[in-house]
Structure 1
């Protein structure tokens, strides 16, 4: 860690510590400066008060990820602040922390809804769909008709004959999805959390089991970015797709599908409007 980085880390720690209310943590007594004392933060983080003091003074050396996590919890940092702490302390963001949820912030839903001709979804690290727009409901799957626990993309692809029949090249799609799913799960540290889902799919689909055994690891940049579907109303359609991370929520990803044919885009918009 460079001298300037160590100094920036110390400045950041002091600023976060000064913003905490001692009374809310059960600490009393008069104080000359606002916020918690250094030894109180060290006690909450289960680290040496001397070493924490050195960190704030810019001379503590590079802390481990575990220590940064403890300090983050002790200082009640937000996800954004925690990421900044890791960037200062280790030069990299922290590992993704998965959060179970059934919906997204209203501003994200408004963003999806503004894409009237482009199907768009937001999925978790384990490929559960948690938000979508009307275009996605009429082109991909009408997720709103399914219980929250049954909106997993892998379940659709390997266990739903209707979804399978819509794929132009099901084998290629399946290989890509399994490889990208494996990468997302590993990145989020969720191998144990998805073991039940993987076991269920292996038992239900020999094709999934074979692909899972192949141990391929892929991301959206490894594909050609084109999805071809046989739609019951629109016929054979081609969609360009792009994947985006969600700011402040590294466990979520947004995928937007854009019709390559303007005429198809116009028809998707009409179908989505009728859905509304």
Structure 2
């Protein structure tokens, strides 16, 4: 069996953020670390502390489905987190990442959409955008190798566009990207991106170690077009392209 460090990091990050009182555990004595202790998680999951420690330290792999489910319950994971944990536990290998191309039909749809629209790939590279998206986000000012949603979000243009909501949105974008990275962990293209992000903003490392995950939903964003305009509220929806699942279409509709 091969070690599984991604699963171990995920388990540890969730264990450390839990409040003992949530699980009826009294804070007797001095707890030197936040969250639950390893032995407390192991007991709740019905496994040995030694086995849990090996899982968390990435020195073991291949936990059974029932064990993964028990760990999820022990850590109080929601359904999205449980699904992500199962994916990490499987350790399925993927072929090397290759940059995507945008089908002509999808590119025409983006060009003709009246509001801001853009397409991203599996690594969240910005593959195509229309003039309305350029007017809103100023993607055209980005060098070609900077046309990536995460790189953009940690830059000055995004801070101006998102205004007071920038910090919350930047942390959410990192959480949305985390599952894609975990599926591709070890791939040079993804590792290079994450290394670059560590140097882009001093708080990124803390957000990354927190290992939070999120999922796209229809939501409203308050944005400042071009970074200088008055605040405009947009409804954002994103769609996975059926014929090319790695491609995602983002559509921004200004509210009346």
User: Displacement of 1:146 after TM fit?
Assistant: 3.6
The one of 163, 178, 199 equivalent to 2:158 is 163
SS in 1 for 2:213: coil
User: What are the residue-to-residue correspondences of 1:258-269 with 2, within 5 Å?
Assistant: 258-261=253-256
SS in structure 2 at match of 1:135: helix
8 Å contact from structure 2 (residues 151, 200) kept in 1: no
- In structure 2, how many angstroms separate the alpha carbons of the residues matched to 1:230 and 1:237? 6
Residue number in structure 2 paired with 1:114: 112
- Report the Cα offset of residue 200 of structure 1: 2.0
Distance (Å, rounded) in 2 between the aligned partners of 1:180 and 1:96: 22
CA separation of 1:181/1:202 partners in 2, compared to 1, >3 Å: closer, same or farther?
same
Residue aligning to 2:31? none
Q: CA RMSD in A?
A: 2.3
Structure 1: gaps of 5 or more residues: 1-93, 262-276
Cα separation, partners in 2 of 1:252 and 1:95, compared to 1, 3 Å:
farther
Superposed displacement of residue 203, structure 1: 2.7
CA distance, structure 2, for counterparts of residue 216 and residue 249 of structure 1:
26
Report which of the two structures shows the higher radius of gyration computed on alpha carbons.
Answer: 1
Q: Which residue of 2 aligns with 1:130?
A: 127
State whether structure 2 residue 235 is matched by structure 1 residue 236. Answer: no
Task: Say which SS state the counterpart of residue 127 (structure 1) adopts.
Answer: coil
Given candidates 158, 175, 184, the residue that maps to 2:171 is 175
Give 2:136's aligned residue. 139
Q: Tell me the distance in 1 between the aligned counterparts of 2:112 and 2:196.
A: 36
| Equivalent residue for 1:226, pick from 208, 211, 220 | 220
Contact in 1 for aligned 2:117/2:129 (Cα 8 Å): yes
Give 3-state SS (helix, strand or coil) of 1:235's partner: coil
Deviation at 1:98, TM superposition (A): 4.3
Q: What SS does the aligned partner of 1:252 have?
A: strand
Per the TM alignment, residue 167 of structure 1 is displaced from its structure 2 partner at its CA by: 0.8
The equivalent of 1:211 in structure 2 is 207
With over 3 angstroms needed to count, the CA separation of the structure-2 counterparts of 1:107 and 1:146, relative to structure 1, is: same
Size of the alignment, in residue pairs? 161
Report Cα offsets for 1:153-190 as digits up to 9, x if no partner.
111111x2122122131111011100111122334x35
Native 8 Å contact 1:121 1:132 kept in 2: yes
Q: Distance in 2 between matches of 1:95 and 1:255?
A: 25
**Partner Cα distance (1:216, 1:181) in 2:** 10
User: Could you give the per-residue CA deviations for residues 175-222 of structure 1, whole angstroms, max 9, x where no partner exists?
Assistant: 1100111122334x355331122122213321111111110011113x
C-alpha distance after superposition, 1:113-151 (max 9, x if no partner): 2212x11110011111001111101112233x4443220
- Is the contact between residue 123 and residue 252 of structure 1 (CA under 8 Å) also seen in structure 2? yes
Partner secondary structure for residue 167 of structure 1: helix
Q: TM-score w.r.t. structure 1 length?
A: 0.53
